[in-house]
Amino acid sequence: MKTAADIIGQIHSGLESDKELIEKAYNFAAQAHDGHKRYSGEPYMVHISNVGFKLAAMGMGPRTVAAGLLHDTIEDTPVTTLDIKREFGDEILFLVEGVTKLSSVRYYGTDRHNESLRKLFVATSQDIRVLIIKLNDRLHNMETLSHVPPEKQLRIARETLEIYVPIAHRLGMGKIRKELEDLAFPYVYPAEYKRVIEVLEKKNGKYNETLERERKVLQKRLADSGLLDFHTSFRVKGLFSLYHKLKRKEWDIAVVYDLLAMRVVVTSVEDCYRTLGIIHELWRPLPGRMKDYIAFPKPNGYKSLHTTVTTQNETILEIQIRTKDMHQESEFGIASHLMYKQPVVTAGASSKFANLIPSLFRPFSRRAAVDEKIKEDSAVPDKDKIPTWIKQIGTHSTKDSNSEEDFISDMRDDFFSNRIFVFTPIGDVVDLPVGATPVDFAFAIHSEIGNHMAGVKVNKKLVQFDTALHNGDIVEIETKKSAKPTKKWLDFAKTSVAKRHIRSTLEAQIN
Ligand code: MN
Per-residue confidence (pLDDT) for residue 201, from 0 to 100:
86
Which has the closest alpha carbon to 369: 14, 8, 17, 21? Answer: 14
Residue 58 confidence (pLDDT) above 60: yes
Ligand 1 centroid – CA 47 distance (Å): 7
Pick from 100-114, 199-213, 469-483: least confident:
100-114
Q: How many CB atoms lie within 10 A of CB 166?
A: 17
Predicted local confidence at residue 419, as pLDDT? 75
DSSP for 206-219, please give it: -HHHHHHHHHHHHH
Query: Which DSSP category does 322 fall into?
Result: E
pLDDT at 429: 76
In the predicted structure, residue 110 carries a pLDDT above the cut 70: no
Whether the CB-CB separation of 197 and 185 falls below 8 Å is answered with no
pLDDT at 260: 93
Distance between Cα 383 and ligand 1 center (Å):
32
Percentage of the chain modeled with pLDDT above 90: 60
pLDDT interval class at 295 (50, 70, 90): very high
How many C-beta neighbours within 10 Å does residue 189 have?
16
Task: State the pLDDT confidence band at 112, using cuts at 50, 70 and 90.
Answer: low
Q: Are 450 and 425 in contact (CB under 8 A)?
A: no
Residue 37 CA to ligand 1 center (angstroms) comes to: 12
Distance between CA atoms of 45 and 143, rounded to whole angstroms? 15
The CA distance from 246 to 430, in Å, is 36
b/e sequence 408-424, b meaning 16+ C-beta within 10 Å = bebbbebbbeebbbbbb
Using alpha carbons, select from 331, 332, 337, 279 the residue that is nearest to residue 305.
Answer: 279
Q: What is the pLDDT of residue 308?
A: 97
Distance 45 CA to ligand 1 centre (A): 10
Query: Average pLDDT for residues 283-290, to the nearest whole number?
Result: 94
Q: Can you tell me the mean pLDDT for 161-185?
A: 90
Cα 71 to averaged position of ligand 1 atoms, centre (Å): 6
Output the CA–CA distances (angstroms, integers) from residue 327 to 94, 266, 342, in the order listed: 31, 9, 10
pTM of the model: 0.74
3-state secondary structure of 35: coil
Say what the pLDDT of residue 114 is: 67
Q: Which residue has the higher pLDDT, 391 or 508?
A: 508
Mean pLDDT for the stretch of residues 387-399: 39
Question: How far, in Å, from the CA of 275 to the mean position of ligand 1?
Answer: 43
Pair 239, 196: CB distance under 8 Å: yes
- 3-state secondary structure string, 231-290? EEEEEECCHHHHHHHHHHCCCCHHHCCCCEEEEEEECCHHHHHHHHHHHHHHCEECCCCC
pLDDT at 413 over 50: no
In the reported structure, the alpha carbon of residue 42 is separated from the centroid of ligand 1 by a whole-number distance in angstroms of 14
**pLDDT of residue 167 exceeding 70:** yes
Measured CA angle at 473 (ends 471, 476), to 5 deg: 145
Residue 370 pLDDT class (50, 70, 90 cuts): very low
Mean pLDDT, to the nearest integer, of 251-279?
Answer: 95
Task: Tell me the pLDDT tens digit for each residue of 299-332.
Answer: 767 899 999 999 998 899 999 999 999 998 888 8
Residue 340's pLDDT is: 65
Q: How confident is the model at residue 399 (pLDDT cuts 50, 70, 90)?
A: very low
pLDDT surpassing 50 at residue 409: no
Q: Answer for the pair 41, 27: CB distance below 8 angstroms, yes or no.
A: no
For residue 40, report the distance from its CA to the centre of ligand 1, in Å: 14
Nearest to 68 by CA among 120, 122, 10, 118: 10
> Are the CB atoms for 474 and 422 separated by under 8 Å?
yes
Q: How far apart are CA 35 and CA 24, in angstroms?
A: 19
pLDDT at res. 380: 36
Instruction: Choose the weakest-confidence range: 19-28, 122-131, 136-145.
Output: 122-131
Does residue 169 register a pLDDT over 70?
Answer: yes
Query: What is the structure's pLDDT at 349?
Result: 31
Q: Does position 511 have pLDDT exceeding 90, yes or no? A: no
Residue 133 CA, ligand 1 centroid: distance in Å: 9
**Angle in degrees, 0-180, between the axes of helices 62-69 and 81-102, rounded to the nearest 10:** 90
- pLDDT of 220 over the 50 cut: yes
pLDDT band at 10 (very low <50, low <70, confident <90, very high): very high
pLDDT at 227: 92
Q: Give residue 360's pLDDT.
A: 26
Pick from 246-260, 287-301, 349-363 the range whose average pLDDT is largest: 246-260
Neighbours of 129 (CB within 10 A): 27
Average pLDDT over residues 100-125: 70
Among 54-68, 203-217, 286-300, the range of highest mean pLDDT: 54-68
For all residues of the chain together, what is the average pLDDT?
Answer: 83
Mean pLDDT of 87-93: 96
Helix (H, G, I), strand (E, B) or coil at 151: helix
Checking if the pLDDT of 438 tops 90, the result is yes
In contact, 489 and 505? CB cutoff 8 Å: no
CA angle 461, 96, 121 (to 5 degrees): 60
pLDDT greater than 50 at residue 403: no
CA-closest candidate to residue 29, choices 61, 70, 88, 59: 70
Specify the range with the lowest mean pLDDT, choosing from 107-116, 190-199, 290-299: 107-116
Q: How much is the average pLDDT of 240-246? A: 95
* Residues with Cβ within 8 Å of residue 242, at least 6 apart in sequence: 196, 200, 256, 259
Supply the residues annotated as catalytic: 75-76
Do 175 and 332 contact (CB within 8 A), yes or no? yes
Question: Residue 357 above 50 pLDDT?
Answer: no
Reduced 3-state DSSP string for 415-458: HHCCEEEEECCCCCEEEEECCCCHHHHHHHHCHHHHHCEEEEEE
Q: Is 77 helix (H, G, I), strand (E, B) or coil?
A: coil
The pLDDT score that the predictor gives to residue 109 is 58
pLDDT at 456 over 90: yes
- Which residues, at least 6 apart from 300, have a Cβ–Cβ distance to it below 8 Å? 169, 170, 172, 389
